Amino acid sequence: MVKKGLVSLFFGIVLLAIGWRIINNRGYYPDTGINLVLVGESSVALVGVSKGDDSLMWVELPSNLRVGGYPAVSAWGLGEIDGNSEELVLQSLGEGLGLWLQVAVKVEDGVSMDGLLDRLLSLKGIKGLSWLDRYTLYKDLSGLSSKGIVLETNLPYQVMDRVQDVDGYEWLELNEAVFVWSRDLWPNEGVVNLGIKVEVVNASDTPGVARVRARQLESIGFRVVSVKAGDIKIDEPCVVKVSPDIWDKNQFIKQILKNYLGCEVEMGDGLVFFVG
């Protein structure tokens, strides 16, 4: 009896540990939403899901768009060489477009809502999304799309320049106007309503990373009032110092900072992002 009790206790502890890990390693909360990159064989789409705002955005990128010197549709394949397809897609498109992109999802054939839903139900893992995330996201996507509120839009021609390579092939490349477009594309209304002013500090030796993050924060809905270099060093890609009165306001700001943005949180004054 004692042995059976110990075995039951052991498995109970294991189940609790698994449950705790699932709950605390989530990548999607309906209140904060999520920004996805959907990658097909020869097409790429951006999907902004915000159950709290009751909105679903869909932006299919031009097939001849070049970001960071190579075609946007080729980023996943290039990343397969080093096994970092998701990271390369998210970094190149996120920085190039000025958007905070959290998860890259590969689908067969072309990009479509049905393809995304099928992929969420498949047995193959998706980096950055737990099974609980996938179930919740599937349910929210299905609900939003069934309402017929999917807002499909394209990159406006003003944010792209036409260039020709030596072979005469015409490419589209992003210009600075894209950051004005992305800032107004799908800001999170919950973040906008907070009305919080933020500072962004470059805590690395690489110039420009604070400006990149500032653009992404503005696309979420934060009001960036200062971008500067600092003499502080951090061990994480993002550390945010937040005043206790902001931190204690509600659960939403905690989800935004820790789960949505993936930052380490420390107590401080105001709201300051340190980018490593």
Q: Does 215 lie in the same domain as 127?
A: no
One domain for residues 42 and 146: yes
Is 201 found in the same domain as 93?
A: no
Closest by CA to 104, choosing from 131, 132, 125, 82, is 125
Task: Tell whether 136 and 54 lie within a shared domain.
Answer: yes
CA distance 4 to 6: 5
pLDDT in tens, 30-54: 888 999 999 999 999 999 998 888 8
Judge whether 276 and 236 are in contact, CB under 8 Å.
yes
Residues 144, 236 within the same domain:
no
Task: Look at residue 225 and tell me if it is in a domain.
Answer: yes
Pairing relation of β-strands 271-275 and 238-242? antiparallel
Identify whether residues 98 and 48 lie together within a single domain: yes
Over residues 127-137, the mean pLDDT reads 96
Nearest Cα to Cα of residue 32 among 186, 214, 135, 148? 186
Instruction: Quote helix, strand, coil % in the chain, to nearest 5.
Output: 40, 25, 35
Residue 116 lies inside a defined structural domain of this protein: yes
Instruction: Give the pLDDT of residue 150.
Output: 78
Number of domains in the chain: 2
Higher pLDDT, 69 or 222: 222
Domain closes at, from 142, 158, 174: 158
Q: For the chain, give the longest Cα–Cα distance.
A: 80
In a domain, 20, yes or no: no
Do 117 and 233 lie in a common domain?
no
pLDDT of residue 69: 86
Asked, for residue 4, whether it belongs to a domain, the answer is no
Q: What is the CATH number of the domain that holds 130?
A: 3.30.420.590
Lowest mean pLDDT among 203-207, 221-225, 229-233: 229-233
Is it the case that residue 154 has pLDDT exceeding 80?
Answer: yes
The gap between the terminal CA atoms of the chain, to the nearest Å, is 54
The pTM score is 0.85
Residue 30, amino acid: P
Residue 195 lies in a domain: yes
Q: Is the pLDDT confidence value at 156 over 90?
A: yes
Residue 119 structure tokens: 């992929």
Per-residue confidence (pLDDT) for residue 3, from 0 to 100: 43
pLDDT reading at 11 higher than 50: no
Tell whether the model's pLDDT for residue 61 goes beyond 60: yes
Confidence band for 6, pLDDT divided at 50, 70 and 90? very low
> Are residues 208 and 148 located together in one domain of the fold?
no
Q: What is the pLDDT of residue 259?
A: 87
Express as a percent the part of the chain with pLDDT over 90.
66
69 CB neighbour count, 10 Å cutoff: 7
The whole domain housing 135 covers 34-158
Which residue reads 């990658």 in tokens?
Answer: 39
Mean pLDDT, all residues of the chain: 88
Mean pLDDT for 223-243 is: 90
pLDDT for 211 beyond 60: yes
Mean pLDDT throughout 211-240?
92
In-domain check, residue 166:
no
Query: pLDDT digits over 62-114, tens only?
Result: 999 999 888 999 999 999 988 999 999 999 999 999 999 999 999 988 999 99
Residue 18 lies in a domain: no
Chain centroid to Cα 22, Å, comes to 19
**53 and 154 both lie in a single domain:** yes
Q: Are 32 and 11 in contact (CB under 8 A)?
A: no
139: region left, alpha or beta (phi > 0 left; psi from -120 to 50 alpha): alpha
128 shares its domain with 224: no
Domain boundary among 143, 158, 173: 158
CATH of the domain at 226: 3.30.70
Q: What is the pLDDT of residue 248?
A: 86
Return the CA Rg of the chain.
20
Helix/strand number for the chain, H first, E second: 10, 14
- Give domain status of residue 263, yes or no: yes
